[in-house]
Amino acid sequence: MKRKILVLNGPNLNMLGTRQPEIYGHDTLADIEGRLRKQGKARGLDVDCRQSNHEGELVTWIQEARTTCAGIIINPGAYTHTSVAIRDALAACDLPIIELHLSNIHKREEFRHHSYMTAVVTGTILGFGAYGYELALEAMVRLVDGPAAAPKPKTRSRRKK
């Protein structure tokens, strides 16, 4: 079984940490990618993180993932609201796909409320900032390995009084 998860980031996400930190937070993309790779390694996954400001490059990577990866996590950035090409590439990909957004796009400008991707992905995570990437990777583990692969919740011991 393929154990690689492709994490794609669209335009301007290379500017995380400096671009509108009041919306996107102070973590850089390198910070996020480092945490994801560490989390993936602990779960037996190879996490391949890529970023591009170019639509065609993202489409090519999605097409390649069809035969090399177990799933895709994608933050399409502004292409969320404009790219039929990325949407069509995702639709042709028979893998679990998670759409991710740092901010809650539905609480922002009206043009951001529509996503071309949502109708063709497995699920969407939005509004949790950089932590959303970690949530997406845990969700992907469940999609790839099944619910039994999820970590068991820790129980707290209760002291009797």
Which pLDDT does position 106 carry in this prediction?
74
Q: How far apart are CA 60 and CA 48, in angstroms?
A: 15
Strands 123-126 and 4-9: unpaired
Compute mean pLDDT per 10 residues along the chain, 161 residues long, and list them: 89 80 74 96 96 98 97 95 96 97 79 84 94 96 80 55 48
Q: What DSSP string runs through 63-107?
A: HHHHHH-SEEEEE-GGGGGT-HHHHHHHHT--S-EEEEESS-GGG
Q: What DSSP string runs through 112-123?
A: GS--SSGGGSSE
Hey, which CATH number is domain 4-147, 3.30.342.10, 3.40.190.290, 3.40.50.9100, 3.40.1010.20?
3.40.50.9100
pTM of the model: 0.85
Domain chopping of the chain, boundaries? 4-147
Which sequence positions are flagged as catalytic? Answer: 24, 101
Which pLDDT does position 153 carry in this prediction?
56
